[in-house]
Structure 1
């Protein structure tokens, strides 16, 4: 019997995903040194994001994200949705420490997001255990038409943002309300259009 091992070096490149019937347009669950590059995802339905980078352990054994996860040059059009099971909004691009902390280096660059129904960048621990999301950089994003907030942080950790510009943001720039711990929104140079904060306690309406 061949021993199970982590998926390593895979690349999801140049795909077009339109109106997936359920869940995310593109999802990565664990693995090492992966690329999600130059894809178009549009019109996600319930229960998902346009792109999900996650440590949700669907299989056993499970190998959490490690190494470098590159999410570059992707275009997201009307992605993200309200999860009807939990009445919880899903961002256009979600980094989810569902069953274990995100400890890989997650590089998100060159993102274009248009008409996001809710948030654009979501950082969460969907399993409800409060695992942290760390090692994330977001660089060079152009966002046009954001339903609620640019950043939706719901668990502890940190992410750095540079050259992220937003137009027509529905509610505020940042919803930073982790269930456990604190989340640091580290702002570098060149960010504009999303410098205000939504107060914790209620979800912003799109």
Structure 2
């Protein structure tokens, strides 16, 4: 069995199992363990909290920001044989107000940046993640303490086969794709996986 983790979710994929085999999902934020058989794409409209949900382990994201912390994220918590409901995940601070509009990566990559906190304290964990016309950029001090640098724009272009802007968690997709949106470049970056019945989920891979 192989394990992969990314930003709160841990996915266990038994080696050699067929593509439609159940997937075990452990939600690190709530501690809930559930079985997907398989995941389903999310409703077009955001569900109400505590309303019934169809597939335990499903994670649905609603919003327009490249930063998951700036969007509404709901998890389907429960077991297949018991009551299950949509539960909202807590968000960290959102800094989308500093995101440039209709700008390409070349215009800001590597340049210094600051976060707008209305006078509040800023820590190295705080980041702004922004959609660009050709990828994603973050106002970041690096992915971790070992690679800390001065706060600047760090940018990533996804592979040509991937969407330019990060897909939302739970959105429908086709094929088998791994699309990187800064998972090893900054703290709030994500590696998105299209699999398990055609749904985008947060994947995981070791950083070199």
TM-score of Structure 1 vs Structure 2, range by shorter chain? under 0.3
The structure showing larger relative contact order (alpha-carbon pairs under 8 Å, at least 6 residues apart) is: 2
Please, what TM-score do these two structures have when normalized by structure 2? Answer: 0.25
Greater share of strand residues, 1 or 2? 1
Which has the greater radius of gyration?
2
